[in-house]
Amino acid sequence: MQRSARSDRPLRVVQWGTGTIGTRSLSAVLGHPHMELAGVRVHSPDKAGRDAGELCGAGPTGIVTTTGLDEILALGADCVLYMPRATDHDELCALLASGANVVTTTGGFHHTAGIDPAVRRRVEDSCARGGTSIHATGSSPGFITEAVPLVLASVQRRLDALTIHEYADLSGRNSPELLFGVMGFGRTPAAAFDEHRLAHIRSSFGPSLRLLADALGLPLDSVEASGQLATAAHTTGMAAGVLRAGTVAAQRMTLSGLRDGRALLEFNATWYCTTDLDPAWDLRPTGWHLTVDGDTPLDVDMRFPVPLDRLAAVSPGYTAHRAVNAVPAVCSAAPGIRTTVDLPLFTAALA
């Protein structure tokens, strides 16, 4: 349902999914001066039938959560903040065809040309029927892999390389199952980096690199992924438990966008549980570091100035808030899949 950004009517927004990111997004919608909450879709039965405010620590809203798709479709909302664990294309297309625009943090729509043709046709047909748009964003990928690099490139007339480093100090993260179970810290290092992890970073961040390259008129020949591991030099304690000497203590995944045989664009994700590593790595505090090599060189450091014991509580906002702030631009956009380069520059409406 396309709507002029100048309309005085508040945008009616549905929050779909109330996990870590979705809960922060829900809170942001409730506090937004130009939005009103229309509904909330939850997935677990214990969250169904509750006042939306209970899920994010707000006061009563009068909006009762539901697990039903039909109930959400009947709301006639302007936009759905779509934040489930994974994309369900049947549900997504039903939303778009019903007249609800979609902003999602699940990925899949960062680079239109790279979407599976069958999926792209189906989504675009749904947008055409509903007169709606869909946009994928977040902090990473999104803000740091698209919005910020595009701004940095705007002062270049020759680009030799653009590199993004993402650092995450996990020593203060009290999540043993995530760190030791899912991410593989504290294990004996394998001979080769986990190919499943490399495939994940290719699918998650590759579209952003291709979007950047296409926007600059320098399309990539290929996108390649590699990984490195470092072990703990000494046994050390951290919030999630004990990290034994000789076990995995740091991981780095590198995604390289190649053009004419060299890396034109590069994204590096470095996660570490201690700085006492073997071999030693050059590490920075949690945040991002970007370098631009060209005729107007740049070196940009963006740190999260938050104590490690509070980072888990603060960090969801980096993803959720950008999605909420994108809603008015997406509602005003022409129907279809709309990437970062398709939308106008948008910012936060704080009053």
Q: What is the rounded distance in angstroms from the CA atom of residue 126 to the CA atom of residue 104?
A: 16
> In percent, how much of the chain has pLDDT > 70?
98
Q: What is the mean pLDDT of residues 314-332?
A: 97
Mean pLDDT of the chain: 96
Which pLDDT score, from 0 to 100, does residue 7 have? 61
The predicted structure's pLDDT at residue 81:
98
Could you read off the pLDDT of 244-266 as tens digits, one per residue? 999 999 999 999 999 999 999 99
Return d(Cα 119, Cα 74) in angstroms, integer.
25
Q: Tokens 């949690």 label which residue?
A: 286
Residues 220, 210 contacting (CB under 8 angstroms) = yes
pLDDT at 5: 45
Mean pLDDT of 295-319: 95
Asked if residue 275 lies in contact with residue 170, where contact means CB atoms within 8 angstroms, the answer is no
Tell me the C-alpha distance between 287 and 303, whole Å. 4
Contacts of 230 (CB under 8 A, 6+ apart): 248, 249, 250, 251, 252, 272, 277, 278, 279, 281
If phi over 0 gives left and psi between -120 and 50 gives alpha, with beta otherwise, what is residue 57? left
Q: Is 263 exposed, middle or buried (0-12, 13-18, 19+ CB in 10 A)?
A: middle
Which domains, ranges and CATH numbers included, belong to the chain?
11-139+316-337 (3.40.50.720), 156-295 (no CATH)
> Is the predicted pLDDT of residue 3 greater than 70, yes or no?
no
Q: Which residues pair with 288 in a beta bridge?
A: 166, 302
13 with 76: CB under 8 angstroms? no
CA 330, CA 176: separation in Å to the nearest integer?
38
The residues with which 267 forms a beta bridge, in sequence order, are 164, 255
pLDDT at 351: 83
Mean pLDDT of 88-96: 98
Greater pLDDT, 85 or 6 = 85
Q: Look at residue 192 in the predicted model and tell me its pLDDT.
A: 79
∠ CA 140-10-138, nearest 5°, is 5
pLDDT category of residue 64 using cuts at 50, 70 and 90 = very high
- How far CA 312 is from CA of 144, 173, 218, 316, in Å, comes to 19, 7, 37, 7
Count other Cβ atoms within 10 Å, centred on residue 343.
17
pLDDT per position as a tens digit, 184-217: 999 999 877 889 889 999 999 999 999 999 999 9
- Give the count of beta carbons closer than 10 Å to the beta carbon of residue 310: 11
pLDDT of residue 1: 55
- State whether residue 289 is helix, strand or coil: strand
- Token pair 């899920």 in the structure block, residue: 55
Kindly report the pTM of this predicted structure.
0.94
